[in-house]
Structure 1
Amino acid sequence: YLLTGNVALNSSAYYLSADEIQIKKSSKTSTAKGQVKFQDDELMFVGKSAVIKKQDEITHTTLNQVQFHYPDTKMNGQASQVVNDGTQQVFDDVSYSLCPLGNTDWQMKADQITLNSDTNRGVADDVVVEFLGVPVFYAPHHEWVLEGRGSGFLAPGFGSYDESVAGEENNYQIRIPYYFNIAPDRDFLLTLNQLSSRGSVVEGKYRQLIAGNKYLDDGRFEIEGHYLNEDDITSNKRWLLNSTVDLSLNDKTELSLVANRVSDQNYFKEITHGDTSDSALFSHLDLNYADTEQNLEIALFAENEQLINNGTATYTRAPEISISKAFEGMDNRKIDLSLVSTNFKHQTSTDTGVRTHAQANFSRPITTNAYSLTPKLNLSTTDYALDNAADESRSIYSFGLDSKLFLERETHLFGTDLIQTLTPRLAYNYTPKKDQSALPSFDSADKNDSYEGLFSGQKFTGIDRISNANNFTLGLESDFIDEETGDTYLSLKAAQTRHIDDTDMDSSGVLVSRRKYSDIALSADVSFDNFTFNNALQYDPETNKIDKRDSSMSYILNPRKFLTLAHHDDNTIKSAELYGAYPITQQVHVFAGINRSITDSITNKETTGIAYESCCWALRLAHFKKHVSGNDYDYVTNFELVLKGLATTSPSLYKRLEDEVPNYLANLDDF
Structure 2
Amino acid sequence: MRKLLALSTLLLLSGVVSAQEAGYTVNCSSTPLLFPKQMLSTDPENVDVTTDHSEGSEGNYLLTGNASLNTTEYYLSADNIKLNKATKTSSAKGNVKFQGKDIMLTGDSVVIKKQDNKILHTAFEQANYHYPKAKINGQAAKIVDSGNKQTFDLMSYSLCPIGNTDWQMKADKVTLDTKANLGVAENVTVEFMGIPIFYSPHHEWTLKGRSSGFLAPSMGDYTESDASASKGYQIRVPYYFNITTDRDFLLTLNHISTRGSVVEGKYRQLLDKGRIEIEGHYLDKDKIKKDNRWLLNTKLDLSLNDKTELSVITNRVSDRDYLKEIAHKNTDEISLMSSVNMAYDDKIKNITGGVFAEKEQLLSGDAEYTRAGEIFLNKKVGGVGKREANFSIITTQFEHKNANTTNKKEGSRRHIQADFSRHIETNAYSIEPKFTVSKTHYAMKSDANQDRSIYSFGIDSKLLLERNTSLFGKSLIQTLTPRLAYNYTPGKDQSALQNFDSEYMGESYENLFSGKKFTGLDRISKTNDVVIGLESSFIDKNTGETYLTLKIAQAHHLSDTTMQLDGTLVTQNKRSNIAAGADITLDKFTFKNAIQYDTYTKSVARSNTTLSYVLNPRKFISLTHENDAGKRTAGVYGAYPISRKVHLFAGVNRSLSDSITNRKTVGFAYGSCCWAIRVAHFDEYTSAGIHDKVTKFELVLKGLASSDSALATRLEKEIPNYLVDLEK
TM-score (norm 1): 0.96
Q: Which one of the candidate residues 85, 89, 113 is aligned to 2:174?
A: 113
Q: Which one of the candidate residues 552, 567, 581 is aligned to 1:494?
A: 552
Counterpart residue identity of residue 178, structure 1: Y
Note if 1:466 corresponds to 2:521.
no
Q: Which one of the candidate residues 636, 659, 666 is aligned to 1:578?
A: 636
Indicate the residue corresponding to 1:214 in structure 2.
none
Following TM superposition, by how much is the alpha carbon of 1:404 offset from its aligned partner in structure 2, in angstroms?
Answer: 0.3
Following TM superposition, by how much is the alpha carbon of 1:386 offset from its aligned partner in structure 2, in angstroms?
Answer: 1.2
Indicate the residue corresponding to 2:313 in structure 1.
258
* Cα distance between partner residues in 1 of 2:128 and 2:159: 14
Counterpart residue identity of residue 313, structure 2: V
Deviations 1:525-545 (A, max 9, x none): 000111100011111222222
Pairwise mapping of residues 34-433 of structure 1 onto structure 2 (< 5 A)? 34-40=94-100, 43-54=103-114, 58-71=119-132, 73-165=134-226, 167=228, 169-211=230-272, 218-308=273-363, 310-350=364-404, 351-433=409-491
Deviations 1:12-51 (A, max 9, x none): 5533222331112123221212332223466421122212
Note if 1:520 corresponds to 2:550.
no
* Cα distance between partner residues in 1 of 2:208 and 2:615: 37
Pairwise mapping of residues 3-18 of structure 1 onto structure 2 (< 5 A)? 3-11=63-71, 13-18=73-78
Q: Which has the higher mean CA deviation after the structures are superposed, 47-56 or 617-626?
A: 47-56
Indicate the residue corresponding to 2:90 in structure 1.
30
Indicate the residue corresponding to 2:718 in structure 1.
660
| Preserved CA contact (<8 Å) 2:525 2:562 | yes
| Preserved CA contact (<8 Å) 1:168 1:197 | no
Note if 1:564 corresponds to 2:564.
no
Counterpart residue identity of residue 197, structure 2: V
Q: Give me the CA root mean square deviation.
A: 1.6
* Cα distance between partner residues in 1 of 2:623 and 2:502: 31
Q: Which has the higher mean CA deviation after the structures are superposed, 394-403 or 72-81?
A: 72-81
| Preserved CA contact (<8 Å) 2:96 2:106 | yes
Counterpart residue identity of residue 99, structure 2: Q
- The secondary structure found in structure 2 opposite 1:274 is coil
Q: Which runs of 5+ in 1 are unaligned?
A: 212-217
* Cα distance between partner residues in 2 of 1:119 and 1:646: 25
Indicate the residue corresponding to 1:215 in structure 2.
none
* Cα distance between partner residues in 1 of 2:312 and 2:195: 49
Indicate the residue corresponding to 2:651 in structure 1.
593
Following TM superposition, by how much is the alpha carbon of 1:341 offset from its aligned partner in structure 2, in angstroms?
Answer: 0.6
Q: Which has the higher mean CA deviation after the structures are superposed, 564-573 or 39-48?
A: 39-48
C-alpha distance 165-603 of structure 1, shift in aligned 2 (>3 A)? closer
- The secondary structure found in structure 2 opposite 1:652 is helix
| Preserved CA contact (<8 Å) 1:18 1:34 | yes
- The secondary structure found in structure 2 opposite 1:658 is helix
Q: How many residues align?
A: 663
Q: Which runs of 5+ in 2 are unaligned?
A: 1-60
C-alpha distance 166-465 of structure 1, shift in aligned 2 (>3 A)? closer
* Cα distance between partner residues in 1 of 2:386 and 2:556: 30
| Preserved CA contact (<8 Å) 2:537 2:549 | yes
Counterpart residue identity of residue 6, structure 1: N
C-alpha distance 667-120 of structure 1, shift in aligned 2 (>3 A)? farther
- The secondary structure found in structure 2 opposite 1:270 is helix
TM-score (norm 2): 0.89
Deviations 1:612-667 (A, max 9, x none): 11122111111111121222211111111111121211121111111111122222
Note if 1:605 corresponds to 2:669.
no
* Cα distance between partner residues in 2 of 1:89 and 1:18: 24
Deviations 1:273-321 (A, max 9, x none): 122111111111101111001110111000001112x242111101011
Following TM superposition, by how much is the alpha carbon of 1:3 offset from its aligned partner in structure 2, in angstroms?
Answer: 2.1
- The secondary structure found in structure 2 opposite 1:663 is coil
